[in-house]
């Protein structure tokens, strides 16, 4: 049983989900989608990025099943599929604060 075999499965899948979340722009989109479905143009309006880049970020989230898309007219609306993801941020915030506290201690 080699490394890739041992790491395949549960941990690989978890890492994929976390990697999909691990970008500021995608975190912003997930947070916004937590308030309700949004079209790509609405999400693009929140950032200073090319439409193609926004589209690719959304395809990353869609690729791991965190969001789904639905075309209505000539717009595409994205919906958050696992809203519990938003609760992750509570602990992440705690980690962030612990991190900042550590920095303070280092430079004291």
Partner DNA sequence: TGAATACTTGGCAATATTGCCATGTAGCAA
Partner DNA sequence: TTGCTACATGGCAATATTGCCAAGTATTCA
Q: Which is nearer to a copy of itself, 74 or 87 (CB)?
A: 87
Work out what residue 98 binds among DNA, a copy of itself, none; the CB cut-off runs from 5 to 8 Å by kind. a copy of itself
Q: Distance between CA 1 and CA 47 in Å, rounded?
A: 45
Work out what residue 96 binds among DNA, a copy of itself, none; the CB cut-off runs from 5 to 8 Å by kind. a copy of itself
Work out what residue 90 binds among a copy of itself, DNA, none; the CB cut-off runs from 5 to 8 Å by kind. a copy of itself
Q: Is 82 in the site for DNA (CB under 7 A)?
A: no
Exposure class string for 27-54: b at 16+ Cβ within 10 A, else e: eebbebbeeebbbbeebbeeeeeeeeeb
């Amino acid at each position: 049983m080699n490394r890739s075999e041992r790491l395949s499965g549960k941990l690989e899948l978890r890492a994929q989900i976390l990697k999909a979340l691990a970008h500021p722009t995608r975190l912003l989109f997930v947070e916004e989608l937590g308030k309700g479905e949004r079209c790509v143009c609405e999400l693009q309006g929140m950032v200073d990025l090319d439409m193609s880049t926004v589209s690719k970020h959304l395809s990353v989230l869609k690729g791991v099943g965190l969001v789904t898309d639905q075309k209505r007219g000539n717009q595409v609306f994205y919906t958050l599929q696992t809203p519990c993801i938003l609760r992750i941020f509570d602990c992440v915030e705690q980690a962030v604060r612990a991190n900042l506290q550590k920095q303070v201690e280092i430079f004291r």
